[in-house]
A and B are shown apart, each in its own frame.
Chain A
Amino acid sequence: MDCSISHSSSQPIYEQIVSQIKSQIIAGKLKEGEALPSIRVLARELRISVITTKRAYDELEAQGLLRSVAGKGTFVAAANLSLLREEQLRQIEELLQKAVDEAKVHGISLEEMARLLTFIYRGES
Chain B
Amino acid sequence: MDAILRLSGLCKKYDGFSLDNVSFSLPYGCIMGFVGENGAGKSTTIKAILNLIRRDQGEIQVFGKDNIQEELEIKEQIGVVFDSLNLPEMIRPLDVGRMMKSVYRQWDSAKYTQYLAQFQLPAKKLVKDLSRGMKMKLAIAVALSHNAQLLLLDEATSGLDPIVRDEILDILLEFIQDESRGVLFSSHITGDLEKIADYVTFIHQGKILLSEPKDLLLEKYGVIQCTKEELAALDKSAVVGVRRHQFGVEALVEKKKISGAHTVDKASIEDIMLFIVRGEHQ
Contact = CB atoms under 8 A, between A and B. Distances in A.
Contacts of A52: 215
B215 A40 contact: no
Interface in A1-42: 10, 12-14, 40-41
A44 to B, nearest CB: 4
Given A12-B219, A43-B173, A44-B173, A49 B196 contact: yes
Nearest to B214: A49
Chain A contact-residue range equals 10 to 19
Interface stretch (B45-53, B93-101, B174-182): B174-182
For the complex, would chain B's binding face be called helix, strand, loop or mixed by DSSP majority? mixed
A50 B215 contact: no
A50 B30 CA distance: 8
A14 B174 CA distance: 21
A14 B29 contact: no
Given A10-B266, A12-B219, A51 B177 contact: no
A47 interface: yes
B43 to A, nearest CB: 25
Contacts of B196: 47-49
Interface of B: 29-31, 169, 173-174, 176-177, 179, 195-198, 213-215, 219, 266
9 contacts: A13-B215, A40-B179, A41-B177, A43-B173, A44-B173, A47-B195, A49-B196, A49-B214, A49-B215
Interface of A: 10, 12-14, 40-41, 43-44, 47-52, 55
Given A40-B29, A40-B176, A51-B30, 4 more contacts: A40-B179, A43-B173, A44-B176, A49-B214
